[in-house]
Amino acid sequence: MLKRCIIAFFSLTLLCLTSTAALGQPLSPHIDQSALQNGLVKVNYTPAKDVTTKLMISKGDKSYTYSLKSSDQYPLQLGNGEYTVSILENVIGNQYRVVKKEKLAVKLTDKNKVFLQSTQIINWQPDMEAIKKAKQLTEKATNDSEKITAIYNYIVTTIRYDHATANTVVTDYVPSIEQTLQSAQGICYDYSALMAAMLRSVGVPTKLVMGRKNDIPNYHAWNLVYVKDRDEWLTIDPTYDAAFVQKDLPSTMIKNSTEYVTEKEY
C-alpha cells in the first residue's frame, strides 16, 4: 500500500583544496550568518552547470548534507554550539573539494524556534496557497491542539499517495508544498513537508523526520509536532493515516513513538 520514499545520504570524500575558484563558478560563495537568531544559515551561491554541489552542515559527530543548486537557507537544528558549514563541489566519483568552509556559533534562547522557519526542504512563504489554506483552516482554533487537528484532518482526507513518484523518485528530490496541494497527491516526503510548512506558518513548531517505521519496509518520513500546553513532541504520520482515512478505516492521529526509528530531523 505504501511504496518507497527514498532520501539518499551521501558519504563524501573531501579533497582538501585551498582554491575556491572553478571554471564557470562564482569566485566568492557567501555563507550568510544574518539569520542565526532564527536557527538558520543562508548560502548565496549558484553552482556551475552540470557540477554536483553539496552543502554539509556538521556539529560534533552529526552531519546533514543537502544538494546545493541555488541560494537558499538551511536549518541549524542540532542545538546550540559550534557548527561547521561547508560548500562542496564534486570532482570525481564520491570525491569532493571544499569550495568554502566556515564555523559559526548558535546561541538560541528558544530551542524550538528553528522548527518554525522556512528552509530548503520545508519551503513556505505567506503568499503560497498552502499557507493561505493553513490560515483558513485554523482561523477559529483557540489553541495549538486545535490547529494541529484541523491541518492534519485536511491533509489525510485530501492528499492521496503518489505511487508513480514513489517508484521513480530521484535522490535529490525536494518537496514542493504548492505542487502537493495543487495535485492533491504526494509521497511521504511531500506529506510531511506539507504538514510541517502549514503548521509552522500558524506558529506550531514542527519537525520533518526521516527514518523507519516498524511495519513499513522502506525509508519513511513523518512529523514531530510540539504542543506547548503539554510541553511535548507528538509523533504524527499523515502518510500512514491517509491510507486508512481514505478507505474509511479507523486511525489515530497521535502515534506511539516506539514504532519509529529516527535517523534525521529537519
CA distances from 265 to 2, 44, 194, 200 (A): 21, 23, 15, 15
What span, in angstroms and rounded, lies between the C-alpha atoms of 151 and 258?
24
What span, in angstroms and rounded, lies between the C-alpha atoms of 45 and 204?
31
Cβ pair 89, 53 in contact under 8 A: yes
What is the mean predicted confidence (pLDDT) over 129-152? 98
Q: Give pTM, 2 decimals.
A: 0.90
Domains with residue ranges and CATH for the chain: 13-108 (2.60.40.10), 129-265 (3.10.620.30)
Residue 212 has a pLDDT of: 98
Of 108, 89, 111, the closest CA to residue 100 belongs to 89
What span, in angstroms and rounded, lies between the C-alpha atoms of 247 and 262?
28
What span, in angstroms and rounded, lies between the C-alpha atoms of 243 and 92?
42
**61-91 per-position pLDDT tens digit:** 999 999 998 899 999 999 999 999 999 999 9
Question: What count of Cα atoms within 13 Å lies in the side-chain half-sphere of residue 178?
Answer: 8
